[in-house]
Structure 1
């Protein structure tokens, strides 16, 4: 299947499925579509035919993982599932969702799933002075190299949000980078020479994890001697300082996770948007006002509790619901599958982890235990097994 084909091949029914993106939500949707018996041709439009396993970027600074360990080529997966890959960037969606404008030309569809992810808000002055470690492998490697070269000084770690959609934040990995660096520096005998500071506009950071988790995270910082600068709006980053409305502090290395918003190509699309710049979606992952157009993952704004996360697990749940509804539409049934709001994560510290689970009924927090680190590594291997070549 050529990656240069821009026109999806028709199945016997003539109905064509197009999926934008090749990340967690997109790949889960492909698996679910095939699992429920959909045989129509699926075309994926994305810049790369590989999956980057972003949750394990936290282990690159400590050398537990290298960049190549987190790259999973998808050619084999696409072949096994009858997928045509168009290697292109999306430029817009027009004609009520039926046309996707790409750098390789227009791609038409009968059903569209948008799973192309979001993007970081880069409006904070001086953000070029900070590393956004979850941007990808290069950013995590830059953190690894700069931390290794730092003889003494201060490392500042923080995250922000989308002011127009406060739930559009991904703070969990920043706690993992913070605690992981503390563990690493102690192993290396360097912790006394390098100060760690955590900063956040909220006085109770990580609230989506639940009150018990927030208390546990703050206690963990106190036990580890990690200073905090909380409750002050960020003003700017300087080459060697973090400036907030509550004052500034020196920082030789700044790690920062900005808030999220929707993809830039939405400006040239017919898709409805939320206040925070995401694609508006219903609980069935359908895009309101358009026929046979769905969204899953970070590109969408979904109804649900204010703690509902922007994370791979939630994207997978949304992708399953979207795929089932697409299959229902193909079979001329009512598309009524809904996704479950659910948060599950292990806040890793390199040698242990704290497990957090939350849904509409429960919020469970299990204390930091060594087996949770091993469990996180086991989950990585299990998750990626479905996509590695066989």
Structure 2
């Protein structure tokens, strides 16, 4: 196997590590630049993470929100994709080492490799809790939830009561809890008539006193009220002390039975990043200068969730990642032309979270706040349009239409091969 994955064309060579929002934005921005681009990711597909909770609750197929990275790279004449995990970065020699042992040289490196779940050292959390930050983990949660319902409905020995505990009151936790509550309210009476719906509980545990901390207080209160109306058991101002295979121990001493514990509390840089010799800050985030270049590394950029600027880190959301990826690519173009870089300026376009069918909260710049049906339509339209292809958009619209329009009559969910 060659030790060089980019053609020797004489053009500057740019390696983009990570095919999330930031990585794809960077590749798009370099589409007509006089450079060769190599996109690296451990998966052969891009995953639209904001809709993974729908996969985890049987509303969408995994293929609805994934897109082939080889097909993506094929759109651009000077871009290539390789499935690989970066195991080392040699900034002195300008080389990236891959899990296959191959080393690839670069002139410019853009790191947007994403993050992993942060368990904050809570005993048993990493071993016994489940995340929904990747396609495979969302599928695992879906299959575990549905398998548990089958076991309880059939009275199998050793079946844990159908209780799902969601830890974390951010957007991911709220959306997951809301979707599970609707599954319980609309689907269970039809699909499992032998099971008392009151036995199936959804508990959301949040250490802070409110949900959705970045939102305005009125929207936080609205979200909490909407979840309670759907039957979600909110435990605000409560921390998790321990996670066991079949239960969660809370800070007040209560031991909650839990068939599935979904962990949605926060993220951090993966341990591998610490071995790359780059300066890191809280949460392991790579420290960058105003232009998004890594501190002390003039040819290396870091953007998205894995990066932070000093004491003013950007939120770990899609828009900062997209804008950061575009900015890093523009600076590569400037450096390739011998021009100085420019500082990055983030433009806040707002935040949103869905609570369930016909219900969401939206906060836009200029004190614009929406909730309820109008906010839900805005949330739905934006997320469908943000998908990678028309096939993804059509499939997502079709499956969501089935979920939101026919569930009370059909109770149909998407299933795989449950364990």
Name the TM tier (shorter chain): 0.7 to 0.9
Q: What is the CA–CA distance in structure 2 between the aligned matches of 1:54 and 1:38, rounded to whole Å?
A: 28
Check the 8 A contact 1:314/1:343 in 2, yes or no.
no
Structure 1, residues 334-371: CA drift from partner, whole Å, max 9, x if none?
21141315363432244223242355xx4533112167
> Equivalent residue for 2:98?
102
Q: Is the 8 A contact 1:4 1:86 kept in 2?
A: no
Aligned residue for 1:283?
290
Question: Aligned equivalents of 1:98 and 1:222: distance in 2?
Answer: 54
The answer to whether structure 1 residue 366 and structure 2 residue 361 are counterparts is no
Q: Which residue of 37, 54, 59 maps to 1:59? A: 54
For these two proteins, the number of residue pairs brought into alignment is 369
Q: Distance in 2 between matches of 1:6 and 1:86?
A: 12
Offset at 1:5? Answer: 6.3
Residue aligning to 1:29: 26
**What displacement does 1:48 show?**
2.6
Q: CA RMSD of the aligned region, Å?
A: 2.7
Task: Indicate the larger mover: 226-235 or 199-208.
Answer: 226-235
Looking at structure 1, the residues matched to 206 and 104 of structure 2 have their Cα atoms a distance apart, in angstroms, of: 42
**Alpha-carbon displacement from aligned partner over 1:191-219 (angstroms, at most 9, x marks no partner):** 43322211111112321233233222222
User: Which deviations, in whole Å up to 9, do the C-alpha atoms of 1:30-70 show, x marking residues without a partner?
Assistant: 11122xx4121111222233111221112124433111222
The change in CA–CA distance for 1:182 and 1:153 in structure 2 (over 3 A counts) is same
Structure 1 equivalent of residue 380 of structure 2: 376
Q: Secondary structure at the match of 1:215?
A: helix
For the residue of structure 2 that corresponds to 1:192, the secondary structure is helix
| 1:265 to 2:264 alignment | no
SS of the residue 1:366 aligns to? strand
| Worse-superposed segment, 76-85 or 88-97 | 88-97
Which position in structure 1 is the counterpart of 2:409? Answer: none
- CA shift in 2, pair 1:368/1:51, >3 Å: same
Equivalent in the alignment of 2:44: 49
Bigger Rg, structure 1 or 2: 2
Query: How far apart, CA to CA, are the structure 2 residues paired with 1:385 and 1:74?
Result: 12
Distance 2:20 2:391 in 1: 11
Counterparts in 2 of 1:358 and 1:246: CA distance versus 1, 3 Å: farther
- 1:130-165 per-residue CA deviation (whole Å, 9 max, x = no partner) reads 22122x2232223223333324542211128xxxxx
> Which of 320, 338, 342 is 1:336 aligned to?
342
Q: Secondary structure at the match of 1:383?
A: coil
Task: Find the aligned partners of 2:166 and 2:241 in 1 and give their Cα distance.
Answer: 15
Name the residue aligned to 2:209.
203
TM-score where L is the length of structure 1: 0.85
Alignment-derived partner of residue 126 in structure 1: 124
Does the residue aligned with 1:133 lie in a helix, a strand or coil?
A: coil
Equivalent position of 1:176 in the other structure: 175
The CA deviation at 1:15 is 1.5
Identify if the C-alpha distance between structure 1 residues 4 and 87 changes in structure 2 by more than 3 Å, giving closer, same or farther: farther
In the TM superposition, what are the counterparts of 1:164-243 in structure 2 within 5 Å?
171-190=170-189, 191-243=197-249
Aligned 8 A contact 1:29 1:319 in 2? yes
Q: Secondary structure at the match of 1:19?
A: strand
**Offset of residue 380 of structure 1:** 2.7
| SS of residue in 1 equivalent to 2:87 | strand
294, 297, 308: which one aligns with 1:301: 308
Shift in alpha-carbon separation, 1:355–1:186, aligned structure 2, 3 A: same
Q: 1:264 to 1:159 in 2, by over 3 A?
A: same
- Given the alignment of the two structures, is residue 83 of structure 1 paired with residue 79 of structure 2, yes or no? yes
When normalised by structure 2's length, the TM-score is 0.80
Once residues 185 and 36 of structure 2 are traced to their aligned partners in structure 1, the CA distance between those partners, rounded to angstroms, is 53
> In structure 1, what is the equivalent of residue 252 of structure 2?
246
Which is further off, 59-68 or 107-116? 59-68
Asked whether the equivalents of residues 212 and 365 of structure 1 are also in contact (C-alpha less than 8 Å), the reply is no
Q: For the residues of structure 1 that align with 2:90 and 2:236, how far apart are their CA atoms?
A: 44
- From the superposition, tell whether residues 357 and 274 of structure 1 become closer, same or farther in structure 2 (CA, over 3 Å): same
Whether the aligned pair in 2 keeps the contact of 1:204 and 1:214 (CA below 8 Å) is yes
**Partner SS, residue 97 of structure 2:** strand
